[in-house]
């Protein structure tokens, strides 16, 4: 175990993202979580250092999702990644609205799922495509995380809408004050922004 942590630390020191991700996979992380944490710990993610969680919540997240994380080893110190909107006026309320929306679509009402909902809400605060801002390897990994966190919500994205747009559209429908430009997507001039490819 000590050797594998040494390998992890060395990969991190040389900013070798695939090798950091491989260590996390070897410790039992699911692929999207391995991608997310590798990007976070290499400063390649727009997510905040603790993923929007409190310090103990972050430790719990790692314990739950990286079951082989070496016992007693500290979490890597944060590195600055691309900017995000966290800290801007009104953003905390927006994150809370998104987290509430995600939690409303949960299948399981356990703390681990609630934590994942928070991470996904915070993941909407980057300036780019959500899956890239979260450091995921592909858009499909975001679908996997959303389907795990909020399956009853994710299943409603039947038109393969961009996920961030979809979440805001759902907030719009819930009358939380996020207003779409048109009463229906079919009649909206912004359709390409909501449904275009997320490359
Ligand atoms: S296409 Fe227009 S109406 Fe539909 S979600 Fe996007 S902004 Fe809202």
The pLDDT profile of the chain, 199 residues, written as one tens digit per residue, is 678 999 999 999 999 999 999 999 999 999 999 999 999 999 999 999 999 999 999 999 999 999 999 988 999 987 888 999 998 988 999 999 999 999 999 998 999 999 999 999 999 999 999 999 999 999 999 999 999 999 999 999 998 999 999 999 998 888 666 677 777 788 888 888 888 787 7
Closest ligand 1 atom to 180 CA: 8
pLDDT value of residue 1: 67
pLDDT value of residue 94: 93
Residue 84's beta-bridge partner residues? 126
CA of 13 to the centre of ligand 1 (A): 43
Nearest alpha carbon, ligand 1 atom 4 = 185
196 CB near ligand 1 (under 6 Å): no
Question: Can you tell me which residue has the tokens 């790692």?
Answer: 62
Q: Do residues 61 and 67 touch, judged by C-beta distance below 8 A?
A: no
pLDDT value of residue 176: 64
CA of 133 to the centre of ligand 1 (A): 21
Among 168, 171, 172, 181, which is best to mutate for testing ligand 1, by the most ligand atoms less than 8 A from CB? 181
pLDDT value of residue 192: 84
Distance between CA 88 and CA 11 in Å, rounded? 34
Q: What is the DSSP track for 40-65?
A: HHTT--SS-TTTTS-HHHHHHHHHHH
Lookup: tokens for 84: 């995000």
Q: Could you tell me where the beta strands, DSSP code E, fall in the chain? A: none
22 CB near ligand 1 (under 6 Å): no
* Alpha-carbon torsion, ordered 94, 85, 169, 163, to 10 deg: -120
Among 182, 195, 196, which is best to mutate for testing ligand 1, by the most ligand atoms less than 8 A from CB? 182
Q: Do residues 150 and 102 touch, judged by C-beta distance below 8 A?
A: yes
pTM of the model as a whole: 0.93
173 CB near ligand 1 (under 6 Å): no
User: Nearest to residue 161, comparing CAs of 192, 127, 195, 113?
Assistant: 195
Nearest alpha carbon, ligand 1 atom 7 = 180
Closest ligand 1 atom to 194 CA: 6
């Amino acid at each position: 175990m000590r050797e594998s942590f040494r390998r992890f630390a060395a990969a991190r020191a040389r900013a070798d993202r695939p090798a950091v991700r491989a260590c996390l996979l070897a410790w039992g992380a699911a692929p999207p979580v391995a991608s997310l944490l590798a990007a976070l710990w290499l400063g390649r993610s727009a997510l905040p250092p603790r993923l929007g969680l409190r310090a103990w919540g972050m430790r719990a997240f790692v314990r739950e999702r990286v079951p082989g994380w070496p016992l007693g080893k500290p979490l890597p110190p944060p590195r600055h990644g691309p900017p995000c909107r966290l800290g801007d006026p009104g953003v905390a309320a927006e994150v809370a609205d998104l987290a509430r929306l995600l939690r409303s679509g949960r299948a399981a009402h356990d703390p681990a799922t609630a934590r994942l909902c928070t991470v996904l809400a915070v993941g909407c605060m980057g300036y780019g495509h959500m899956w890239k801002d979260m450091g995921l390897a592909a858009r499909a990994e975001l679908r996997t995380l959303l389907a795990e966190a909020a399956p009853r919500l994710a299943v409603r994205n039947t038109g393969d809408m961009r996920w961030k747009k979809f979440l805001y559209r759902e907030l719009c429908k819930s009358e939380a004050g996020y207003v779409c430009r048109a009463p229906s997507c079919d009649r909206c001039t912004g359709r390409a922004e909501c449904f275009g490819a997320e490359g």
